Amino acid sequence: MQELTLKYGCNPNQQPARVFMREGELPFAVLNGRPGYINLLDALNSWQLVQELKEATGLPAAASFKHVSPAGAAVAVPLDPVLQQVYFVEGVELSPIATAYVRARGADRMSSYGDFAALSDTCDASTARFLLREVSDGIIAPDYTPEALEILRQKRKGSYLVLQIDPAFRPAELETKEVFGVAFEQHRNNVKIDAGVLADRPTKNQTIPDGAARDLIIALITLKYTQSNSVCYAKGGQAIGIGAGQQSRIHCTRLAGNKADVWHLRQHPKVLALPFIPGIRRPDRDNTIDVYISDECDDVLRDGAWQQFFTTRPEALTPAEKKAWLAEVSGVALASDAFFPFGDNIERAHKSGVSYIAETGGSVRDDNVIATCDKYGIAMAFTGVRLFHH
C-alpha cells in the first residue's frame, strides 16, 4: 500500500489527511483500528527509538509515547520486588519484552495515560495482557503472536490501533517536511549512539561503570526522539524522568528532575503502604499517589476527601521525610540533547542523585560545568553529538 487515508490531521477540523510514499510501499501495516495523524507520528518516532535501543544494548526495548515525545523508554532489565509493586505487576509472570514495556510505562504513569506503545521485538501474550488493562491508544511492533493479536483486538471495543512495522525498512538519507507552504530538507539524523560517545571524560572522576554507561546510552537515544530542548534521567535500564520541549535547558533539568524524584518517592514505604480501597481504577490510583507525594498532600487527606481513595486515613508524607528519602538517592544517569551552558543544571541534577552525565560539550562555560561536576564527584562525558529533534 502506497497511501493511507487518516481520520483527520492533528485536529478534527484538519481534513482531509493522509500519509503516503512517493516511492515504494508504506513500511507498516494496520492490523487493527484506524490510525490518526498523531498516532502515526508517535508510532514512527517510537519505533526508531526502540530499534536503536535494541541495537545499542542488545536487550529487548520498549517506549511509551505521548504527543511525539517519549513519556518513558526502557530495556528488559528484571524488576525487583519493590518495582513490581510500584508498577502493579506483583505475581505477574512477565516476558523480557513485557518487562521492558512495564518499565517504560512506569517511568511516568500519569503521562503514559493514553500512550502509544512501541516494542523492539515480537509482541507476545504477556505484553498484550498488560496492555489490555491499561489506557493506551495503540501499539507498533515488528510482529505479534496470534494470541497477543487476539488479546489486543479486544481492547477499546475492538478499535485499538495495532501496527506492524517492517523492521528491514530503511528511509532515504534525505528527509523533507513542509511548514507554511515552505519545504524543508535535511539529512536524516542517523548518528550512531554507543559506548564510543562516552570516551571523552573531562572531569576528575572518569569512572562510569557498565550499568551507568548503559543508562547514559538509553538516555541519549531517548533524547534523540524527544522534542527539544530535552533532558533525560535514567536508572536501572530505563528513563525515570524526561523533560521535553522547554525553551530553557535549566527548566528541562528541573522538569525531568522533578519527575525522577517522583519515581523515587513512589518507592517510599509510606507510598507502598497506602491503603487504597478495593477496585480503585489504576488512573485514579496514579493520580492520588502523585498528589500524595506532592506539596498538595493535605488536599487528598483533608477531612472526608481521603474516603474516596483509602480504607483508612493514611499519614502524610512530610517534607522532611521526602527530603531524607531523596538524599539517599545516587547512581542516576543524566543526558542532555545539547551542552549545559551553566553549572546550575549540575546543581539541580545533583539534588536528584545524579552521579553520571553525558552532554554535548562545547559551551564557552564548559569550565564552570566541569568544576561543578568535580564539586560533587560526578563523572561526565562530552559526547560531541547534538541531538535536537523537531
What positions carry a catalytic annotation? 66-67, 229, 390
> What dihedral angle (degrees, nearest 10) is formed by the CA atoms of 103, 105, 109, 112?
160
Q: Is 365 exposed, middle or buried (0-12, 13-18, 19+ CB in 10 A)?
A: middle
* b/e sequence 23-48, b meaning 16+ C-beta within 10 Å: eeebbbebebbebbbbbbbbbbbbbb
The contacts of residue 98 (CB under 8 Å, 6+ apart) are 124, 126, 127, 130
Say how far apart CA 7 and CA 59 lie, in whole Å: 35
Give the integer Cα–Cα distance in Å for 388 and 310: 44
18: amino acid identity, one letter: R
Task: Identify the three-state secondary structure at position 13.
Answer: coil
β-strands 354-359, 379-382 pairing: parallel
CA dist 30 and 261 (Å) reads 38
